[in-house]
């Protein structure tokens, strides 16, 4: 079911996005969507964690509006409360697992020669092909956690990705403890594999126990319909 081909689901996705925006703005936050990743890096540096993922760093990638965006949220004082980013890859000639073999090596092994990448990545990744969105660099300020904002903000990123690119898959890599606590299902991921990328010797700042979490296009359209249905109750 392709959103851009049939139009099916477009109004529901737009309605779901409006519901999420209203919830986030109702918490006193101002939202901004951008494809300016220089501004993204500046915003990251203004957060308490200052953590910029290699996937969204200008050190490794030339990110632009056709293939990447980010969303930020700021409080009434203009201080950052949340950031997240997404980018799309068109993997017609190889699987996501095969893509990782090249990309993860470039980002993590080449700069850290003591790191060693394995080949036994998440099983599903070797069957995932097509237009694939990676969603990551999700951060929420500590005082804003536990209020339902993480779910609303993440779902907003998912559905903006769905409208922009109508991907075959949208995925993330999630710490095992968060996946097992159910955070993934709450934000909209519907499929789980208890391994992401396989590390024999991970770089110091990379967790070796991440899970691959993902949703298909149909899963994301279903998420939008659920948000709309709950918003009408």
Pairing of strands 211-216, 191-193: antiparallel
In 3-state terms the chain splits into helix, strand, coil percentages (rounded to 5) of: 40, 25, 35
Alpha carbon 40 to its chain centroid, in Å, reads 15
- pLDDT for res 22: 96
What pLDDT, on a 0 to 100 scale, did the predictor assign at position 2?
A: 44
pLDDT in tens, 174-200: 999 988 898 899 999 999 999 899 888
The pLDDT confidence band at residue 111, using thresholds 50, 70 and 90, is confident
Query: Quick one: how far is CA 68 from the chain centroid?
Result: 11
Beta bridge partners of 201: 116
Question: What is the count of structural domains for the chain?
Answer: 1
pLDDT of residue 4 exceeding 70: no
Minimal CA–CA distance to 220: which of 136, 147, 164?
164
The SS3 call for residue 60 is coil
Q: For residues 198-219, give the mean pLDDT.
A: 90
| Residue pair 140/153 in contact by the 8 Å Cβ criterion | yes
Q: How far apart are CA 191 and CA 152, in angstroms?
A: 19
Domain CATH code at residue 61: 3.40.630.30
Write out the residue range of the structural domain in which residue 118 sits: 3-232
Span of 15-19, 106-110, 173-177 with lowest mean pLDDT: 106-110
Rounded CA separation 221/143 (Å): 31
pLDDT band at residue 8 under the 50/70/90 scheme: low
Residue 7: predicted pLDDT: 57
Residue 169 phi, psi (nearest 5): -145, 150
pLDDT at residue number 154: 97
The first and second tokens of residue 162, run together, are: 């769905």
3-state secondary structure of 77: coil
pLDDT 10s digits, 156-178: 999 999 999 999 999 999 999 98
Signed CA dihedral, 173, 175, 178, 180: sign only: positive
Range scoring the smallest mean pLDDT among 18-27, 79-88, 202-211: 202-211
CA distance 218 to 200: 34
Please indicate, yes or no, whether the overall pTM of this predicted structure exceeds 0.75. yes
Q: What is the pLDDT of residues 46-91, one digit of tens each?
A: 888 889 999 999 989 999 999 999 999 999 999 999 999 999 999 9
Give the chain's mean pLDDT: 91
pLDDT, residue 112, reads 80
Q: How many whole angstroms separate alpha carbon 51 and alpha carbon 55?
A: 12
| Full DSSP string of 121-153 | --GGGGT--EEEEEEEEEEE-GGGTTSSHHHHH
Which residues, 6+ apart, have CB-to-CB distance to 42 below 8 Å? none
Summarize pLDDT for 23-40 with one digit per residue, the tens.
999 999 999 999 999 999
pLDDT band at residue 5 using 50, 70 and 90 as cut-offs: very low
């Amino acid at each position: 079911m392709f959103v851009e081909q049939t139009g099916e689901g477009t109004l529901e996705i737009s309605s779901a996005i409006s519901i999420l925006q209203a919830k986030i703005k109702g918490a006193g936050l101002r939202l901004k969507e951008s494809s300016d990743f220089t501004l993204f890096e500046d915003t990251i540096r203004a957060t308490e964690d200052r953590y910029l993922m290699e996937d969204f760093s200008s050190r490794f990638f030339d990110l632009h509006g056709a293939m990447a965006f980010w969303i930020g949220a700021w409080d009434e004082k203009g201080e950052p409360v949340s950031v997240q980013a997404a980018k799309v890859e068109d993997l017609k000639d190889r699987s996501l697992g095969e893509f990782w073999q090249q990309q993860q090596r470039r980002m993590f092994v080449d700069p850290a020669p003591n790191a060693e990448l394995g080949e036994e990545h998440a099983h599903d990744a070797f069957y995932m092909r097509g237009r694939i969105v990676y969603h990551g660099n999700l951060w929420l300020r500590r005082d804003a956690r536990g209020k339902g904002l993480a779910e609303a903000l993440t779902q907003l990123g998912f559905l903006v990705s769905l409208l922009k690119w109508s991907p075959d898959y949208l995925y993330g890599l999630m710490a095992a403890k968060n996946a097992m606590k159910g955070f993934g299902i709450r934000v909209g991921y519907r499929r789980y594999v208890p391994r992401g990328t396989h590390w024999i010797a991970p770089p110091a700042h990379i967790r070796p126990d991440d899970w691959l979490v993902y949703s298909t296009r149909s899963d994301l359209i279903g998420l939008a319909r659920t948000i709309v249905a709950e918003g009408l109750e």
